[in-house]
Amino acid sequence: MTGLNRRIAGWSLSALAALALPLVYSNPYHLDVLTSALLYALLALGLNLIVGLTGLLHLGYAAFFAIGAYTYGLLNLHLQCPFWLGLLPAALTAGSAGVCLGATTMRVRGDYLGIVTLGFGEIVRIAFTNLDRWTGGPNGLLGIDHPRLWMPGRGIFDFGVSSAPYYYLVCVATAVAAGVCVRLSRSRVGRAWIAIREDELAAACAGVPVVHLKLLAQGCGAAIAGVAGAIFAAKQGTITPDSFDFVLSVMVLAMVVLGGLGSIRGAVIGALVLGSLPELLRGFEQYRMLLFGVAMIVVMRVRPAGLFGGGRRHARTA
Amino acid sequence: MSSLQLLSQQLANGLTLGAIYALIALGYTMIYGVIQLINFAHGEVFIVGAYAALTVLLLLGPAALPWWILLVLCGIGALGACGLLGLIMERVAYRPVRRAPRLNALITAIGMSFFLQNAIMLLYGATDRQFPSLVPPIRWEIGGVTVTLIQIVVWVAGAALMIGLQALVMWTRLGKAMRATAQDLTACALLGVPVDRIIAVTFVIGSALASIGGLLFGLTYGTINFHDGYLVGLKAFTAAVLGGIGNIPGAMVGGLVLGMLEALGAGYLSSQWKNAFAFVILVLLLLLKPTGLLGERVAERA
Amino acid sequence: MAVGHRQGLRLARLVLGLLFAAGCGKPEAVIKIGFAAALTGDQAPQGEDLRDGVELAIQQANAQGEILPGYRLALYALDDQHSPTQAVSVAKKFIADPDVMAVVGHLNSSCTMPASAIYHQARVLQISPVSSNPQISRQGFDTFYRTCATDDLQGPAAALFIVNELKAKRIFVLDDMTTYGRGLSNELIKKLEALGAEVLGHEGITQGDKDFVPILTKIKSLTPDLIYFAGMFPEGALLIKQRKQVGLNSLFMGSDGQFDPVLINLATPQAAEGIYLTAIGSDIRQIPSAQAFVTAYEAKYGAIGAYSAYGYEAANIAIWAIQQAGTKDRTAVLAAMKTLKDYPGIFGLQNFDQRGDSLIRDIGIFAVQNGRFTFIKTASWD
């Protein structure tokens, strides 16, 4: 009982601190950096479902991010769909793409799966660049609406380009996603995913519906990326295909891996640290990717389970 | 230009591209054959070869010696640099994770790839570097098809290396040991084959082949950029899978076929979808026929 | 579990602390001019050229005395890495700094576009030296100005030159599938077709690609009079060189993204001989009002890059606006900018229309002769 109370108290404190932050500290640039890092955290949570819990190597995650962003963007530009309504289609299209990709790659084993997903990610990006009649091509989509919220006493409030509203939005989104992931990972579904990760054949023999669960994992993970994409599009106002490249996929993967495969906490913290690092190291950005590479090699060598991983044995992924 | 001439020209173009892909694909296939690792950083090794050759030229000066001597020197420079790189990579990054889960090894490879790419960028700059045109720009017109001296050099070098490799693998003791290790590493270890050394040698040979590919690449296109390794590497990997991963003649065939497909695709279909085209081939292959054209040769895994 | 989120809180506090520390600066009596461009990555040389121009302008202004009583001028340069996301981040950083009174930037249209919304919301004057995508000034932002001609002028100017001067009738158009390249090639094709020329094809190549022999072989089989490429110099150089390799002898014309001496080196002078280029502006060396700048720049930085003059001009106009405002206040600076009329810049008398586009709309035509860029004429675009 005490443990549970302490936990609730702890989470409430963190939540209050997070909510109070923009009121005490209103530098829009710093809030923006934090918002971006939290958006990465959202992405990391989604990828963690696929790679961390279920053990499916995915190198094309940015594609789902792109699909979500373009879905909201196109719906908004052509049908004047408001942001809040656009979230669901974004999640659904991305999620469906995840399921389709999962279905086609059901039999592909470990490292080949990585390459196939990489190919998929690149094909999506090139397609968005080349199909300029529908996607705006390399120009991308311009003039996407920012979210508008009706607030009591204030009327319609347009988020515009201020930083604080997006900070709250992403905080809430990440918290919700984290909550969902935690519940999932502790449920039968989560345990089944981990079983698939540890030994797919044994899991199948034990009666785990491997196919359904793999699709579920990829669908959910992709849907989360879709939501993140819609938020990103609404925040930026313009989206271009080159924001959704392989480097982004690898960065999110690095956050999940370094934070600890399967660990929700690890994914969020890994993302917060790695996501805000580029801004903190402004002036050293030439070395950023270099350090990423070194970090990945070193962590794999020294602490293969990541920062918060471990506690569970990690075996073959295929 | 008649359509037959056009076709022949595109095929000749594709053959040049294909030879380069083949040389790089060989490295992928050999490494995958022995340790079942997709060496993500192999594309970077390829471009390091090009940069090493460039460095040799910068040190000596492009006009210091007759071009074919310079060519040989560049080749030696590239071979040395990349052979060493392959050795270090294997020892430092890959050997420790050989027994680890597949994901870890792949992440290590990706990390190595990022590291090398950015190291090159920091050393040589982010903009394209000009690769001096060593080979005199002599052209011949044969039945309406243009063939340049550079293309001949690429074809000859590529063919010589591939034949040489095949000879090494088929007729020497080392080659036999490599084939045996690829077939069953544990059995070889038990029988006293120095598997660690064989794997290291495999890395060195694979990297050496890629380095010559890099030199030929620099000669053919005249500019090199740190980012070239990624894209060309992926296409070469496609070629290796196309021919059958682990299968050495397969990598050669795969490289040539992919090169020609790409040239034909760019020439007849669309240039802007060229890269997507290669990725589509890769994805379809892995989904439908992962064993490739000539069948893969990897160890049986329980 | 309880331990876990305490660790998390600690980490969060650490990160926040670092951010806070990074944000606190030492108070100084400066007025900053923000400068944003790609300073690392593939466009770094262009970004550096721009920065050198801006730096020179600021240095000269400081040498003449205080910009406003008690204040000196400082350059605040940030790298947007040719990434729209970074550009937004950089823009927010600028507007958060109370010393920044105006921003010169960005370099690439894809970065200037999203950033402009931020400057507009914060009511900060933004002058872009070289972003040429027409849509940026069509957003209705009164904070946006630019000192260069837009792509919807370069395209028609090139078309007129191609049809009227070069007498080409069959043209094949290539672009590099970027915001800039595709926009420009679309404008070019519209005008070419309006003039009655035959556009044999319009294809894109991918930036970073090396092998254009297949597409050039295909173009060769169509026997065009001229090939136009809207894109940057790395791909332009390869196209120019490889077209000779395949024996393609038609004329070649490129856009201002290829107007860089490196192009001739990469393409080899023999292959580049006789090609044409459009540039956003006439030859800086031919303009009398620019000579002082040319001398000063070359003394300090060496050879003038294609964009240096625009950075210089944009910075000087920003400095003028700040001086006119008379106080360290962004709204005043913006209001002062609106009063600009016949500003004596290095390109001549500068004026801006209500959208913020410069009324100096020279498009220069250059050719490569004897291994160097030679100015041919200032093109007309109607």
The topology under which CATH files domain A24-302 is ABC transporter involved in vitamin B12 uptake, BtuC (1.10.3470)
Position A101 scores a pLDDT of: 93
Band of pLDDT at residue B90, cut at 50, 70 and 90: very high
Least confident of A18-27, A41-50, B26-35: A18-27
Mean pLDDT score of chain A, rounded to an integer? 84
Identify each DSSP E strand in chain B by its residue range. Answer: 129-130, 139-142, 145-148, 223-224
Q: Is the pLDDT of residue B246 over 90?
A: no
Position A63 scores a pLDDT of: 95
Distance from CA of A6 to the nearest CA of C (A): 7
Position C58 scores a pLDDT of: 93
Position B140 scores a pLDDT of: 85
With pLDDT > 90 as the criterion, what percentage of chain A qualifies? 28
Q: What is the pLDDT of residues A162-203, one digit of tens each?
A: 788 888 899 999 999 999 998 988 898 888 988 888 888 888
Position A314 scores a pLDDT of: 44
Q: Is the pLDDT of residue A254 over 50?
A: yes
Q: Which two tokens stand for residue B264?
A: 């034909």
Cα separation, C232 vs B129, whole angstroms: 15
CB C199 within 8 A of CB C189: yes
Question: For residues A96 and B103, which has the higher predicted lDDT (pLDDT)?
Answer: A96
Q: What is the four-CA torsion angle of A152, A155, A158, A162, rounded to 10 degrees?
A: -60
What is the secondary structure of B71-122 as a DSSP string? HHHHHHHHHHHHHHHHHHHIIIIIGGGTTS-HHHHHHHHHHHHHHHHHHHHH
Q: What is the pLDDT of residues C57-66, one digit of tens each?
A: 999 999 988 8
CB A102 within 8 A of CB A43: no
Side-by-side strand order, sheet with C372-379: C198-204, C170-175, C226-230, C251-254, C276-279, C363-369, C372-379
What are the backbone angles phi and psi of residue C171, rounded to the nearest 5°? Answer: -125, 135
- Whether A316 sits inside 8 A of B237 (CB atoms) is no
Identify which of A137, A161, A282 has the shortest CB distance to residue C121: A161
What is the secondary structure of C157-223 as a DSSP string? HHHHIIIIIS---EEEEEE-SSHHHHHHHHHHHHHHHHTT-EEEEEEE--TT----HHHHHHHHTT-
Band of pLDDT at residue B36, cut at 50, 70 and 90: confident
Q: Is the pLDDT of residue A316 over 50?
A: no
Band of pLDDT at residue A311, cut at 50, 70 and 90: very low
Beta strands C30-37 and C72-79 are parallel
Annotated domain spans of chain C: 29-149+287-350, 152-279+363-379
Band of pLDDT at residue B10, cut at 50, 70 and 90: confident
Q: Is the pLDDT of residue C15 over 80?
A: no
- Whether A3 sits inside 8 A of C2 (CB atoms) is yes
Identify which of C1, C117, C182 has the shortest CB distance to residue A132: C182
Beta strands C198-204 and C170-175 are parallel
Range A144-171 average pLDDT: 82
Band of pLDDT at residue C2, cut at 50, 70 and 90: very low
- Whether C110 sits inside 8 A of A140 (CB atoms) is yes
Q: Is the pLDDT of residue A44 over 80?
A: yes
Least confident of B28-42, B267-281, C189-203, C349-363: B267-281
Q: Which two tokens stand for residue A241?
A: 């295909």
Compute the C-alpha angle C43/C47/C48, nearest 5°.
120
Distance from CA of A109 to the nearest CA of C (A): 31
- Whether B279 sits inside 8 A of A126 (CB atoms) is yes
DSSP A14: H
Position A303 scores a pLDDT of: 80
Position A227 scores a pLDDT of: 96
Cα separation, C143 vs A45, whole angstroms: 39
Question: For residues B197 and A237, which has the higher predicted lDDT (pLDDT)?
Answer: B197
Q: Which of A123-137, A294-308, B204-218, C194-208 is the most confident on average?
A: B204-218
* Alpha carbon B69 to chain centroid, angstroms: 23
Q: What is the four-CA torsion angle of B96, B99, B103, B109, rounded to 10 degrees?
A: 30
Q: Which two tokens stand for residue A254?
A: 């690095």
Question: What is this model's ipTM?
Answer: 0.79
Band of pLDDT at residue A140, cut at 50, 70 and 90: confident
What are the backbone angles phi and psi of residue C110, rounded to the nearest 5°? Answer: -65, -20
* Residue of chain B nearest C264, judged by CA positions: B130
Local structure of A197: helix, strand or coil = helix
| CATH number of this structure's domain C29-149+287-350 | 3.40.50.2300
Q: Is the pLDDT of residue C3 over 50?
A: no
Mean pLDDT score of chain C, rounded to an integer? 86
Cα separation, A178 vs A64, whole angstroms: 18
CB proximity list for B108: less than 8 A, separation 6 or greater: A296, A297, A300, A301, B93, B94, B97
Least confident of A59-68, C197-206, C303-312: C303-312
Identify each DSSP E strand in A62-158 by its residue range. Answer: 148-151, 155-158
The topology under which CATH files domain C152-279+363-379 is Rossmann fold (3.40.50)
Q: Is the pLDDT of residue C25 over 70?
A: no
Q: C residues 115-154 near A, CB within 8 Å? A: 117-118, 121, 133, 135, 139
Q: Is the pLDDT of residue A312 over 80?
A: no
Compute the C-alpha angle C112/C115/C119, nearest 5°.
120
Q: Is the pLDDT of residue A289 over 50?
A: yes
Range B228-249 average pLDDT: 87
Band of pLDDT at residue A317, cut at 50, 70 and 90: very low
Q: Is the pLDDT of residue C36 over 90?
A: yes
Give the residue among C104, C105, C113 at the shortest CA–CA distance from C85.
Answer: C113
Range C339-360 average pLDDT: 89
* Residue of chain B nearest C220, judged by CA positions: B1
Band of pLDDT at residue A137, cut at 50, 70 and 90: confident
- pTM (2 d.p.): 0.83
Annotated domain spans of chain A: 24-302
What are the backbone angles phi and psi of residue B148, rounded to the nearest 5°? Answer: -105, 165
